[in-house]
Amino acid sequence: MLCDVTTPQDLDDRFRETLAALPAAERRRDSADPVTDDAPLSGAQLLDLFDAQVTSRQLDLAARWLRSFGEGFYTIGSAGHEGNAAVAAALRPTDPALLHYRSGAFYCVRAAQAAAAQAAAAQAAADPGAAAVPQAAPIRAAAVPQAPADPEPPAEPQALAEVDGSAPPAGAFAAYAEAARDVLRGMVASSREPIAGGRHKVFGRADLAIVPTTSTIASHLPRAVGMGLAVERLRRLDTTGRRGGAGPRAGAVDAPWPPDAIVVCSFGDASVNHASATAAFNTAGWYDHAGLRIPVLFVCEDNGLGISVRSPEGWVEAALRSKPGIRYLSADGADPVQAYAVAAEAAAWVRRHRRPAVLHLRTVRLMGHAGADAESAYRSPGELAADLDRDPVIGTARLLVSAGVATGEELLARYDETGWQVRRLAEEVLGEPKLASAADVVSALAPRRPVRVARAVADAAARASGPGAGARAEAFGGRPPELAGPMTLAQSINSALADGLLDHPQMAVFGEDVAVKGGVYGVTKGLRDRFGAARVFDTLLDETSVLGLGLGAGLAGMLPVPEIQYLAYLHNAEDQLRGEAATMQFFSRGAFRNPMVLRVAGLAYQERFGGHFHNDNSVAVLRDVPGLVVAVPARPDDAAPMLRTCLASAAVDGSVCVFLEPIALYHTRDLYADGDGEWLAGYPEPGAWVAGHVPIGRARVYRVGTADDLTIITFGNGVRMSLRAAAVLAEEGVGTRVMDLRWLAPLPVADIIREASATGRVLVVDETRRSGGVGEGVIAALVDAGYVGAARRVAGVDSFVPLGPAARSVLVSAEAITDGARTLLAR
């Protein structure tokens, strides 16, 4: 039997046999007394944890039952990890949590805590003299007192209620019924599931401060570090939003969590090896070493396995202990009293010192990785039996019985009642509706409210020219940018960033070299001096962590504007955009969002600088991310309004925007001839911002000559080259429309169709690559719209960009554009 002992039926049988064999204690213990003489938990409190653990276990059994007849879609369970119920009990329900996918018991405890806190608040409002917590609530969420100075004793167990241990089983489950229904709805992909709405089975709910994580293979750890840093920065942010005086939009930034909250982030032992985990630990330690505070409690739930791959004995502890700047604590997840005591100590330490710690919680894994996993293929019967002996739910039951809080028979009655209730709920949710159309699925992906975005830009203009005019003039040293004369692309972006920082008190600009140095290309020069190191700051050299800081800051209520120094470096960390940033609203139906405007210096054509790392023209990975906004400003007079649109869209709709800045155009001044200054442009005064507003997904068209013969569709560096080519063609009597896409995602499809149809001849100039480049999307849009005219592409070669003059062999040139146009016109 041992080879199959972790099947659902055998796990259930083993539990029943064990409880039936437990000898009753010699005397009954008062449930209000400590469960043992020196335990931080009373008998009633431990019984509460047992009920949460049992609910989680029965949910795992229900998942396998649902899967057996094709109605369940998720069987990665929490069996063996139920010790995390004690971790939840040691925290406050307002501490934001990013949870491992084996966190069923944690979720149950948190849901009950939040419900009890709401009931207590309602009761206090109705009757201020009443007791703080109603007796019906088995778990409450009273405030935990500030932890004393080191060394701290375990915090008082105020996260659990004092209840009568003889409460009827049905009443015991009542505290967890809502949580159980949430989880079951996720299993059957019900559209009524409270966080993802049937899009994925996740642990998450806004009112529980649980942020959904769609893949807990460490990708959420950088976000957790960012949340911790943001919590601390918001504590210190002055009410003006800028250093040294009131800006146009004075006022404190609203934070979603209390100022003394800590962030908890759980993950499995195999995830310790992931690059994202390494980045997160390193960043937390780096900031701690630098004297900045990151109140994050990492919880490593170590069952010794990553699906079938074993973690080498002692490796996880050695790895976690070696992280500089992160305090290490360990506990046995099969011992609820120890797990609670250590978790309470860890939480109190992080809360008091605002520094990171890691709790190494040793667990087991029961019933395999998921429903299709046959553990007997890679684990011996002895290993499976050893794990069963450490079943945390049985461990809690043994302690309750030996302490005289309950008998095995009474606990089995609670177990059976919970199982019946969970099965009843499972049958109920089976009939609930599912997502039935593409429109339903994508409705939560990336809301677009262009009218509200335009209004936000107008409001910013009104503030800048009205109540904030004085502060704006002061920030610009008495000479606002509209009086500075013609600007380059870099100067225009710099001024727009300054205006953004003035208008958005929650905005922060950060990245490698952006503060003291002012950026490699000077784009952020002077911003730190004007707005202070709390709002413009340098980060360590790690793109994953830069994005993680942005993701966490956005969740915390800030408006992050991180910079990735070069496009090629983004590929090191692109999953933070794809798997984390872009999915947040999708998998939370907008309950959570991480607004962000990511500035990236990129594309090719830098002279005397080089190779592919500094001349990267690969943007396919960005255009492939659903909901992501990708902006490419080519001209100075487009850069500022496009950046304002991105900031407004992030603030209004929670958009994740990539602002891809063509490096080669940063300091370009001329268009046709040296000294003509035709690539410079003035910066608009606030009164002109509304008229110059650039909505997301709208192109710009330049007409050269009659503009009747040819349409060139391009972007970025291609705009300048195409305008030069159009000038040559004009001398040959050819009238050209040069359309700057400006937005690569979403593409300005309506503008593409209109301008293509106007001439019937389209030349797509794509400075990226022929395969996977932007041009493919443009041609596809034309075909989908039924365009019947002539079309041709001029695109970069499918190659990395080499060093020196060889780059010209693989990149688009003005001459190639001219030749392509002539070929097209000759058809």
Catalytic machinery residues? 614
What three-state secondary structure class fits 544? helix
Tell me how crowded residue 662 is: count the other CB atoms within 10 A of its CB: 25
Q: What is the DSSP letter of 683?
A: P
Pairwise CA distance, residues 750 & 746, whole Å: 11
Total Cβ atoms within 10 A of residue 200: 19
Longest dimension (CA), the chain: 105
Rounded to whole angstroms, the Cα distance separating 439 from 434 reads 13
Is the bond preceding residue 746 a cis peptide, omega within 30 degrees? yes
Residue 52, Cβ neighbours under 10 Å: how many?
Answer: 34
Measured CA to CA, the distance from residue 742 to residue 751 in angstroms comes to 11
Q: 414: closest CA among 15, 86, 118?
A: 15
d(CA 252, CA 245): 13
DSSP 310-337: EPPTTHHHHHHHT-TT-EEEEEETT-HH
What one-character DSSP code corresponds to residue 377?
G
For β-strands 736-740 and 700-704, DSSP reports them as antiparallel
CA distances from 559 to 207, 241, 545, 595 (A): 22, 12, 17, 6
CA 122 and chain centroid, separation: 33
In sequence order, the 6+-apart residues with CB closer than 8 A to the CB of 342 are 154, 329, 330, 331, 359
3-state helix, strand, coil in the chain (%, to 5): 45, 10, 45
Burial of residue 699, with CB atoms counted within 10 A of its CB: 0-12 exposed, 13-18 middle, 19 or more buried: buried
Separation of alpha carbons 807 and 680, rounded Å:
26
Between CA 688 and CA 686 the distance in angstroms is 5
Q: How far is the C-alpha of 208 from the C-alpha of 755, rounded, in Å? A: 50
DSSP labels, 210-258: EE--S--SSTTHHHHHHHHHHHHHHHH--TTSSTTS--TT-SPPP-SS-
Terminal alpha carbon distance of the chain:
78
